Amino acid sequence: MNAALPVLSCCDLCYRVGDAQLLQGINLGVHCGETLGIVGPNGSGKSTLLKLLANLRVPGGGEVLLHGQPLKKMSQRTIAQNLAVVEQHADTHDAIAVFDAVALGRTPWLSALSPWSAKDTAIVEQALADVDASHLRSRTWRNLSGGERQRVHIARALAQRPQILLLDEPTNHLDIQHQLAILKTVHALPVTTLIALHDLNQALSCDRLAILQRGRLMALGKPLEVLTPQRLLNTFGVQAHYLTDPFDGTQILRLSSF
Amino acid sequence: MTARLIFTFSACAALLLAVLAGVAIGETQIEPGVVLQVLANKLWGAGHVLDPIDEGIVWNYRLTRALVAAACGAGLATCGVVLQSLLRNPLADPYLLGISAGASTGAVLVAVLGLGAGAISLSAGAFVGAISAFALVLLLARASGPTGASAQIILAGIAGSQLFNAITAFLITKSASSEQARGIMFWLLGNLSGVRWPSVWLAVPVTLAGLAVCLWHRRALDAFTFGADSAASLGIPVRRVQLLLIGCAALVTAVMVSIVGSIGFVGLVIPHAVRLLAGTGHGRLLPASALGGALFLIAADILSRTLIKGQVIPVGVVTALVGAPVFALILVGRRHTR
């Protein structure tokens, strides 16, 4: 695979609902193996961008390219074999067992000719182990806490064995231990990752960051280069300065309102 | 694999027993031995000498009734499973899409106003009415929101049902004689007494075909567990699957309604009850619900014929009388299994 060619990219991407222009002229590319964080205030279009990149919505203008090929010319199944999504709000009132919920991730790989096999079971077990949820295997969905559900969702996405993983605020409902554990897992995965994040300090650990504001891409680059105090003031309306961790020299953002 | 074989075998056995019960039990006392002899005569020409009236009752009247009840129950339960899964709403049932209301309007137009001048049967009128109502509901759902939004389809279905029910009531009040009104009412509540062999040859293949189509898409139905977006991200062509399966459910329901009128509660209760036993995976849920629906409706039909001596209660009344309390029990039980 050509490392220089982005695995997933979009050019001049636009999306509107009624009169509201949710996204406008977005150009970005994700390179093989990198973790691209997407940050921005509420309503800046993070979730919409992820939905367009996963072909869950049809763009009003522009196009998305997967390995250089237009997404709209691919079958949904082919897309799902390459790319998995963890949505922000995905719930069910079915009494589905955790193992079965994760097993749904194998859907794009199964057909009448290639039914469920021991290999699929192994992949599901591995996915459960990756998010530290093996012990939940036979629990029922509605008995899970918010954080446990989120981990199961991520396991389902991992069971798809995707090359690209799109995560919409995956740490949202988690306690701090599991937030850090999930981020560590995500960073360690041998996949290309797009991750929408709220916590800017967590976003600093991404390889690159895309900053969205009112549906436009304001900046794209290395975290410390794009998350400047001036831009944080303009985009998020907060005052910010960097501190240095005396233990390992890492930069930490300290944020405050006026 | 062996579990599947055992299920298939017990399903066939249960179905066979239920049909036999449906054939053996009724107003006229017929000995079980005679029943078996009739079946033997008809199926492989055993040549027993029997009363032709008994033979007629068993073969043309009770057996057809039991078979249509089985097909109908299985078909409605299957449609209920599919609609509840696709629309992500536990209240969805085959009549939600305006199908039964449209069927009644079609039937009334034929029966009361004489539309088609005798060339169209009541059933054909009901079928056309059902499909037209469904088309109208789909158009309304489409005009009112993004495609595939389940709330839109449900709301449009409710609006459509109310409209067509009102038209039916209006037509009956305005034009029907009291005898016609009584006949229509009976049919509206579900009526298996008119069925003969042609109905069997329509109902059974349609149900089997519907079940086969749904089973073929069982993984797609599973993928809808977390909603349409989630299904799409799992590689399901959401719009195509929704159109195909909802259209299929509408067609099966329309055929059933045109044969036996609208029998409520089967499509709602059976899937919920079976989910408790068979789990949520559609590979098991669909055949188990079909079996449950078939058994339930055969039993309901037997009850409807025997509950009051000398009278047949509309089968829809029986399904609701039994179904509503069962549904209540399921609701309460579900809360406790939490």
Mean pLDDT, range A15-20, rounded to an integer: 86
Tell me how close the Cα of A70 comes to any Cα of chain B, in angstroms: 16
- Using a CB–CB cutoff of 8 Å, tell me whether A93 touches chain B: yes
CA A93 to chain CA centroid, nearest Å: 24
Residue B148 pLDDT more than 70?
A: no
Q: Which of A50, A56, A86, A149 to mutate to test the interface with B (most CBs of B within 10 A)?
A: A56
Q: Where are the domains of chain A?
A: 8-227
B225: nearest CB among A75, A80, A101: A101
Per-residue pLDDT of B97-120, as tens digits, reads 788 888 888 888 887 777 665 556
A56: nearest CB among B229, B237, B279: B229
First-to-last CA distance in chain A?
Answer: 48
pLDDT at B337 (0 to 100) = 56
pLDDT at B120 (0 to 100) = 66
State what percent of residues in chain B have pLDDT above 70: 95
Domain range for B314 is 2-337
Coil/strand/helix, residue B17: helix
A92: nearest CB among B220, B225, B229: B225
The rounded distance, in Å, linking the Cα atoms of B91 and B162 is: 17
pLDDT at B116 (0 to 100) = 61
Per-residue pLDDT of A106-151, as tens digits, reads 999 998 788 899 999 999 999 999 888 899 988 999 888 888 888 8
- Using a CB–CB cutoff of 8 Å, tell me whether B9 touches chain A: no
What is the domain count for chain B? Answer: 1
- Using a CB–CB cutoff of 8 Å, tell me whether A110 touches chain B: yes
Coil/strand/helix, residue B119: coil
**Interface confidence (ipTM) of the complex:** 0.88
Q: Which of A48, A99, A104, A158 to mutate to test the interface with B (most CBs of B within 10 A)?
A: A104
Contact between B222 and A107 using a beta-carbon 8 Å cutoff: yes
The rounded distance, in Å, linking the Cα atoms of A33 and A50 is: 18
- Tally of CA atoms within 13 A in the half-sphere of A240 that contains its CB: 21
Tell me how close the Cα of B297 comes to any Cα of chain A, in angstroms: 25
How much is the pTM? 0.88
pLDDT at B338 (0 to 100) = 46
| CATH number of the domain encompassing residue B271 | 1.10.3470.10
User: A8-227, what's its fold?
Assistant: Rossmann fold (3.40.50)
pLDDT, greater one: A77 or B308: A77
